[in-house]
Amino acid sequence: MLNLSEDSASFIEDLRCALNDRSRCEHFFPEGISGFSSTSAVLLLLSGHSGNSGTVSEPCLVFNKRSKKVKQAGDLCFPGGRIIPRSDFYISKILGLPLFPLARWPYWHRWRDLRQGESRRLALLFAASLRESLEEMRLNPLLVKFLGPLPPQRLEMFHRVIYPMVGWITGQKRFFPNWEVEKIVYIPLRDLLDTDGYACYRLHMGIRRDNRERGIAQDFPCFLHQNQDEREVLWGATYRIITIFLELVFGFSPPPVETLPVIEGALADNYLTGADRS
């Protein structure tokens, strides 16, 4: 299991090794994914600081909070989106050039030599996640160290398959979110490894505008993060990606959902469609 108190260089190298140990034994990227409309890539971002001046530096996960102008408004997510085949194809070629993120990944040459088809698909997905990160939060692609892929996740509600790529941000401390993002949220890894932060999210769906009809309720595991004066709820597909990452790297699993304290929530009537941008 990794040690959070390690220096950042050793911690990053241990992360790379843990992710490579998993990905080298499995085939995450089937043929034809670039042509599937259901394919999306996201960038699970880590940073060595919390983004708040005056706080102690420590490893954090970096999230986007969706704005009210997009689907799933208010949710925490990682930057990402669907592949644009032509654009991302050319970006993927650049990423493998000397001094670019894939070329700096210690396992890239082995992937390229021994897993040629999969390496091209990995590069394409990584390119899509970087392009989207640049668009959504002005992340500098040259300041990202690629650490490796995670297993894909199915998002049944939206009929999508999400391919998470893991990256470490080096040097960039300020971001400039676009209209899709309300703000950037940092959650320390130390907090995510504390079982006290987890809860059962009892989510009411199908609520009418007059709120007289409560609709059906469903329970989801979640993580609660107190962000200054506002509480953030991490749940859904992003939560699943995080728990896979924590189990793979740290051997940590949250408590069973039936043992957790319950918090109440509700989906807005435009949750699945998003508000108009005007």
> Where do we find the tokens 């499995």?
26
For residue 1, being part of any structural domain is answered with: no
Evaluate whether 38 touches 93 at the Cβ level (below 8 Å).
no
For residue 131, being part of any structural domain is answered with: yes
- Give bridge partners of residue 47 from the DSSP assignment: 60
For residue 165, being part of any structural domain is answered with: yes
Q: Is the dihedral of CA 205, 208, 210, 215 positive or negative?
A: negative
Quote the pLDDT of residue 212.
Answer: 46
Q: Phi, psi at residue 5, to the nearest 5°? A: -85, 0
Evaluate whether 55 touches 186 at the Cβ level (below 8 Å).
no
Tokens of 262: 């319950």
Tokens of 3: 């040690």
pLDDT tens string 186-236: 999 999 999 999 999 999 876 554 454 556 889 999 999 987 778 999 999
Residue type (1 letter), 100: F
Q: Phi, psi at residue 202, to the nearest 5°? A: -90, 105
Quote the pLDDT of residue 36.
Answer: 72
Quote the pLDDT of residue 224.
Answer: 97
Residue type (1 letter), 186: Y
- Give bridge partners of residue 162 from the DSSP assignment: 40, 153
Residues lower than pLDDT 50 in the chain? 209-210, 212, 278
For residue 102, being part of any structural domain is answered with: yes
**CATH code of the domain containing 98:** 3.90.79.10
Quote the pLDDT of residue 215.
Answer: 65
Parent domain of 62: 8-266
pTM over 0.85: yes
Q: Phi, psi at residue 66, to the nearest 5°? A: -65, 140
Burial class (CB in 10 A: 0-12, 13-18, 19+), 253: exposed
Q: Find the angle CA(149)-CA(199)-CA(211) to the nearest 5 degrees.
A: 110
Closest CA to 239 of 219, 267, 212: 219
For residue 241, being part of any structural domain is answered with: yes
**CA atoms of 19 and 28, how far apart (whole Å):** 12
**CA atoms of 133 and 63, how far apart (whole Å):** 11
For residue 275, being part of any structural domain is answered with: no
Residues, the chain:
278
Evaluate whether 101 touches 144 at the Cβ level (below 8 Å).
yes
For residue 276, being part of any structural domain is answered with: no
Tokens of 202: 């009892």
For residue 2, being part of any structural domain is answered with: no
Q: Is the dihedral of CA 216, 219, 222, 226 positive or negative?
A: positive
**Number of domains making up the chain:** 1
What SS3 state is found at 26? coil
Quote the pLDDT of residue 7.
Answer: 77
Quote the pLDDT of residue 37.
Answer: 73
